[in-house]
Structure 1
Amino acid sequence: KPPDLKKAVREEKAKPQFEDLQGWLQGQLTRLPARSALAGAIRYAVTRMKRLEVYLQDGRLAIDNNTAERSVRGIALGRKNWLLSGSDAGGERAANIYTLIETAKLNGIDPQAWLTHVLTIIADHPINRIEELLPWNVKADPELHDLAPSVSAPQNLLSRKPPFQYGKAPAQ
């Protein structure tokens, strides 16, 4: 759905429920002992309501951060392995590569095919045009159809770059 339509639906349906929840939480605080665990949990929620409310005002935003959580899942799972990066500089390089891989996924590009393509041509590519090789700038070239993923990639709702699309998925 277009962001404007999402915002309108949220204004109509979600905002009243959000405001009701906010009022209910405030009401519960007056009925509970101030030092109880439940009061602490409610205070935690109430203090974050202003930040949560932002998604009502912008149709591009998701109510959750599932896309971001999925993107960093591999980092969390491999946390002990990253200790073997060798140095701080090695860790930075690994983080940069990981960022490029996740960016390729978010733009609907098969990361392995994209990296293979980039590593094949980067030596002869002009340094002042290096941004052309970034995932969101790879042009639709008939020879590069293998960059399109075999499954649909999640869409980054905040991305200003259009998702990468080719005419067909690669043969399996």
Structure 2
Amino acid sequence: GRLWTVVRDDRPFGGPEPPAAAYFYSPDRSGAHAETWLGDFHGIVQADAFSGFGRLYDPGRKPGPIREAACWAHARRKFFELADLKKAPIAIEAVTRIDAIFAIERAANGLAPDERRAHRSIRSAALVADLEAWLRENRAKLSAKAPTAAAIDYLLKRWTAFARFLDDGRICLSNNAAERSIRPIAVGRRNWTFAGSDAGGHRTAALYTLIETAKLNRIDPQAWLADVLTRLPDHPARRIDDLLPWNWTQPQRRQIAA
């Protein structure tokens, strides 16, 4: 079985929507599941380069296209492993160049989309263009079977998706928000291993959705769930949104803390 997560976090660009994480269970790793979960969504999706996501980015997709934003952290990781383990000179230089782009990005964190785009245009665009030229130059010197060539190809084959952050201030350099949300599962499965059944997998996904969304909103999940479960029997169904983590009022939080 597999657990997947879709994370919305607009805080890096000061967006109005509260952060949330939704988890989904599937009995296998087919990309068709992601197509089902995203349903009628169209816009930007930032993810790793899993081949199963390919049809999401089809220009003719209905009801509208999804634009891919690639993850620079995944690209960096491929070079870092070669730099750390094999001391490959090209990989070491690639890591240095990518780190420079990340360093510039830190100053843009929290700025409005237009401000982030302007910041990147002034400080990052030239570095990204130089990196592309440098990668193409060095790729021509390597055989197709060289490990460093594979790391370079990972970037160059998706270059449009990697460079997309320069044109849209809402896009982050990485999908680390989703990586952080999936990490507890990757670590925890060493201890509990199984969900018991497909039904257990779906229940697990639902619980992770509640707990991780509370954490993203800086709410103690245990206190929030204890309060919500106590109030649910008498709470009007038409006002269920009142109990969502981002609507859980400050007085309620203080009362629970007391």
State if a TM-score over 0.5 links the two structures: yes
TM normalised by structure 1 equals: 0.75
2:129 alignment partner in structure 1 = 19
TM normalised by structure 2 equals: 0.52
SS in 2 for 1:85: coil
1:80 is displaced (CA, Å) by: 4.1
Within 1, Cα distance between the matches of 2:213 and 2:167? 26
Q: Which has the higher helix share?
A: 1
Q: 5+ unaligned residues in a row in structure 2: which ranges?
A: 1-110
Q: Answer whether contact 1:114 1:135 (CA < 8 A) is retained.
A: yes
2:66 alignment partner in structure 1 = none
SS in 1 for 2:173: coil
Counterpart among 161, 179, 196 of residue 69 in structure 1: 179
1:49 alignment partner in structure 2 = 159
Which one-letter code corresponds to 1:54 in the other structure?
R
1:105-126 Cα shifts (integer Å, max 9, x gaps) = 1122221111111111011112
Point out the more displaced range, 20-29 or 73-82: 73-82
Q: Which has the higher contact order (CA 8 A, sep 6+)?
A: 2
1:146 is displaced (CA, Å) by: 5.9
Are 1:104 and 2:104 an aligned pair? no
1:122-150 Cα shifts (integer Å, max 9, x gaps) = 11112233232221232x24232267xxx
2:239 alignment partner in structure 1 = 129
1:24-82 Cα shifts (integer Å, max 9, x gaps) = 11111222223322222211221122222222222233212222222111100112445
Q: Which has the higher strand share?
A: 2
**Percent of matched pairs sharing the same residue:** 49
After superposition, where does 1:1-172 map in structure 2 within 5 Å? Answer: 1-138=111-248, 140-145=249-254
- Is the alpha carbon distance of 1:85 and 1:131 closer, same or farther for their aligned partners in structure 2, counting shifts above 3 Å? same
In the alignment of these two chains, the number of paired residues is 148
Q: Answer whether contact 1:55 1:62 (CA < 8 A) is retained.
A: yes
- Is the alpha carbon distance of 1:43 and 1:146 closer, same or farther for their aligned partners in structure 2, counting shifts above 3 Å? farther
1:9 is displaced (CA, Å) by: 0.5
- Is the alpha carbon distance of 1:100 and 1:143 closer, same or farther for their aligned partners in structure 2, counting shifts above 3 Å? closer
Which one-letter code corresponds to 1:14 in the other structure?
S
Within 2, Cα distance between the matches of 1:58 and 1:75? 31
Computing the radius of gyration from Cα coordinates, the structure with the larger value is 1
Q: Answer whether contact 2:181 2:212 (CA < 8 A) is retained.
A: yes
Q: 5+ unaligned residues in a row in structure 1: which ranges?
A: 148-169
Q: Answer whether contact 1:82 1:91 (CA < 8 A) is retained.
A: no
- Is the alpha carbon distance of 1:100 and 1:62 closer, same or farther for their aligned partners in structure 2, counting shifts above 3 Å? same
Within 2, Cα distance between the matches of 1:80 and 1:16? 44
SS in 1 for 2:145: coil
SS in 2 for 1:31: coil
